[in-house]
Amino acid sequence: MKILLLSMPDSFEHMPEVVVRMPNGALSSLAGNVDSHHEVAVADLILVQRQVRGTVERLVREMKPDVVGLSVMTFQRHTAKKIIALIRRLNPAARIVAGGYDPSLDADAYMDDSYAPVDFIVRGEGEITFRQLLRSIENNSGFDSIAGLSYRRDGNVFHNSDRHVSRLESSDIDMPNRKARVLGGYTLLGKQVDVVETSRGCTFDCSFCSIIEMRGRNFYTYSFDRVLADIRDARDQGARAIFIVDDNITLNVPRFEALCQAIMDAGLNSIDYIVQAMTSAIANHGETLAPLMRRAGFRYIFLGIENILENDLAFLRATSKNTKREAGRKSNATIKAIDYIHQNKMFVVGGLIVGNPDDTRESIEANLNFARQYVDWPYIQHPTPYPRTPMTKDFRERGLIINETLEAYDGTTAVVRTEHMSAEEVEFMRWKAERWMKVRHIPFALLHDRLFMLRNLRRIFAHTFRGSSIKSILGLEDERRAFERYRAIRQVERAYL
């Protein structure tokens, strides 16, 4: 059969497209785990944000797929529905499958007859479920025995039992098929970038995170032989930067240290690596871990700081993962972790969440000031009530959700208010401060790739200061007018079809 796999064009807006565009690793993994006689194409629509309709029309008409799969996050649902309707018009016979976080956590929304419903939903991990689904479609056999599948039959919707997550050490999940990608342009600061995973899962239960609902509290790892082969394949396909997309690689620090050594032993440390890490792991083990990371090629470390105030960390259920031990005492791990990263000439991408239920202007400003002082690149978000997360229940019970428009659930649009501030005021504070924090990183980016930065500096500034005028930048215009223009631009940007 012919299979077309699509990721949605909607993106988080922290960085301009010229700076970073990552592939969807889940779709490449699906492509690598179907039976070999199928013809598979993967199209990351984030690469064609201004030509989404034309690209989908071209791919469907040229390929005439038997099955179309879509990977969808919550804020991408509106776009996904439009693409589903478009595919129905172009190719009514195609079977349409949805997967990813949003369909997994709110399957009924994709079976609703008020929209163009999908035929199947792959819930949770998709590789084995999707492979079995294709076999059943091809053999015209039933679907009731496929774990992790939801489907429509004779006007009724059926949800099969959940599929147990893979332990990864077995041979159940094959390598990704990067050659199935039909669009190009993946980039990180001018270098071709790819994604690799070495483990899946997390054992923490942060209130804002969908991972626990998606797969439970667990942590499973691939063998180093498999990981190194995956890195080599990404490199051989042109990658010079790799984002290790593990949910929480620092859950097992000795393994992470051994992985760094294995990367060096394999001669793969000329690649620039980006990774997500807990502050506690870096703070408690940084004396040995951080130098190893740097020698292995790690450059950018996304730290899940979440918040610097203890009451906010408690609300986010993130206190324990941000705690260091020193002389028998416990304290916040963030500054110590940042120190280790900076001492070893790596950069901190600081993940912070502001606009929590009890936040005030003073508490938000404390986090913004911290980011100004310690973080190289800010990744500041607002708490967002994604389906079935503990945070959503808390906000709903307190009546703080002010926007149910899911396409606004992108992390940088404030859709909840606090007990003391409007959502608009929260977002304005973040927007006003974050622009200038990003400008501060430009000298470091110049050191990373001077030619790339000089060639694209104007586009980077234009994205960072969308809605701003020379007057507003110079303080000659009320910044709230610039903020309103920025919000209007964001509204237009979301209209991909």
The CATH number given to whatever domain includes residue 129 is 3.40.50.280
Q: Does 202 fall in a domain?
A: yes
User: For 92-109, what is each residue's pLDDT tens digit?
Assistant: 999 999 999 999 999 999
Overall average pLDDT of the 377-396 stretch: 95
Residues 200 and 103 in one domain: no
pLDDT given for residue 171 in this prediction: 74
* pLDDT tens string 368-381: 999 999 999 999 99
Q: What is the pLDDT of residue 36?
A: 96
Mean pLDDT of the chain: 95
Each residue's pLDDT tens digit, 24-78: 999 999 999 999 999 999 999 999 999 999 999 999 999 999 999 999 999 999 9
Residues 137 and 235 in one domain: no
Tell me if 117 is assigned to some domain: yes
pLDDT digits (tens, 9 = 90+) for 277-303: 999 999 999 999 999 999 999 999 999
- Contact call for residues 134 and 39 (beta carbons, < 8 A): no
Domain presence at residue 283: yes
Q: Are residues 145 and 197 in the same domain?
A: no
Are 218 and 358 part of one and the same domain? yes
> For a pLDDT cut of 90, what percent of the chain falls above it?
88
- pLDDT tens digit sequence for 215-263: 999 999 999 999 999 999 999 999 999 999 999 999 999 999 999 999 9
Taking a C-beta distance cutoff of 8 angstroms, is the pair 289, 253 a contact? Answer: yes
Asked whether residue 172 is domain-assigned, the answer is no
> Both 202 and 102 in a single domain?
no
Asked whether residue 195 is assigned to any structural domain, the reply reads yes
Same domain, 411 and 279: yes
Q: Is the Cα torsion angle 497, 24, 125, 215 positive or negative in sign?
A: negative
Residue 181 lies in a domain: no
CATH number where 441 lies: 3.80.30.20
Is there a domain that residue 169 lies in?
no
Q: Are residues 200 and 132 in the same domain?
A: no
Residues 252 and 378 in one domain: yes
In this structure, are 151 and 195 located in the same domain? no
**Domains contained in the chain, number:** 2
One domain, residues 307 and 435: yes
Domain that holds residue 103: 2-159
Q: Show Cβ contacts of residue 43 under 8 Å, excluding neighbours closer than 6 positions.
A: 4, 5, 6, 7, 55, 56, 59, 181, 182, 183
The answer to whether residue 268 is domain-embedded is yes
Together in a domain, 432 and 293: yes
Are residues 144 and 289 both part of a single domain? no
Contacts for 447 with CB less than 8 Å, ≥ 6 apart = none
Q: Rounded to whole angstroms, what are the CA distances from 251 to 169, 201, 202, 231, 358?
A: 17, 10, 8, 21, 30
